[in-house]
């Protein structure tokens, strides 16, 4: 064996390990973020969960669209979601594997939520890291972990929102993911699909609700809040 061959022999196992080649797609293999800005937010979220005192009734888990409750969605969050005792666990750019890593590092069990709102998957397809089937597997794995960590919580699973100004192949992939999620309902999981609210009759994204054809405007966040509020609010006192 020459030096070049020997180097290749040593490199292949390392590359396989790095890519998460476990017989499963990378979308289901927990992986931390590697970009500086996202690492800071990732560390903040892990610390928030670890340091939380007492139950947190409602959790929002996801990527930049969830993190956006802190900015364009803040007024709606403060008025409609924060009074529920909610925590925002969104990190811009996260894919399913990144959420799985966060759940591994800081399980949500101690927070004892009654409801968890999950929106994840758009970056798996949008970043070209996963195809539709792999994205579906990643979402299903996140749901499975949430159910294991918080068996008493209601999981409010959001269908992945449409993205891209006009009808495009990526939207077709996300539609297939959403169809598969709807076809396989799970106990304790409620699927909420509001994607059609964000497009017009021509199939174009409504810019008043998604200015960049991906992230929500304040009006878009109000639609989201109104769609989940009945599901995450505490039951009325029946005394």
Q: What are the catalytic residues?
A: 64, 212, 215
For 79-133, what is the HEC assignment? HHHHHHCEEEEECCCCCHHHHHHHHHHCCCHHHCCCEEEEECCHHHHHCCCCCHH
Separation CA 59–CA 110 (nearest Å) = 12
- Tell me the backbone φ, ψ of residue 190, rounded to 5 degrees: -110, 120
- For the sheet with 115-119, list strands across it: 86-90, 58-62, 115-119, 154-158, 189-192
Separation CA 149–CA 127 (nearest Å) = 28
The residue written with tokens 């004892």 in the block is: 112
Contact 63, 90 (CB under 8 A): yes
Separation CA 31–CA 103 (nearest Å) = 11
> Three-state SS for 199?
strand
Q: Which two tokens stand for residue 89?
A: 């666990």
């Amino acid at each position: 064996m020459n030096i070049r061959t020997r180097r290749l022999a040593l490199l292949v196992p390392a590359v396989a390990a790095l890519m998460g080649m476990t017989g499963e797609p990378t979308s289901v293999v927990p992986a931390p973020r590697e970009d500086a800005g996202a690492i800071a937010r990732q560390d903040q979220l892990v610390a928030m969960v670890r340091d939380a005192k007492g139950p947190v009734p409602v959790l929002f888990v996801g990527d930049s669209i969830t993190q956006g409750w802190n900015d364009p969605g803040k007024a709606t969050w403060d008025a409609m979601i924060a009074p529920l005792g909610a925590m925002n666990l969104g990190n811009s750019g996260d894919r399913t594997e990144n959420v799985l890593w966060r759940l591994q590092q800081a399980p949500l069990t101690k927070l004892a939520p009654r409801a968890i709102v999950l929106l994840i998957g758009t970056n798996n397809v949008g970043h070209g890291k996963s195809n539709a089937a792999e994205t579906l597997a990643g979402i299903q794995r996140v749901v499975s972990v949430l159910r294991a960590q918080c068996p008493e919580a209601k999981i409010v699973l959001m269908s992945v929102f449409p993205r891209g100004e006009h009808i495009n192949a990526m939207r077709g992939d996300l539609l297939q993911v959403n169809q598969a999620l709807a076809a396989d309902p799970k106990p304790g999981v409620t699927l909420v699909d509001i994607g059609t609210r964000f497009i017009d009759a021509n199939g174009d994204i409504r810019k008043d609700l998604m200015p960049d054809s991906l992230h929500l405007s304040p009006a878009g966040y109000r639609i989201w809040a109104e769609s989940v509020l009945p599901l995450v609010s505490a039951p009325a006192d029946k005394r």
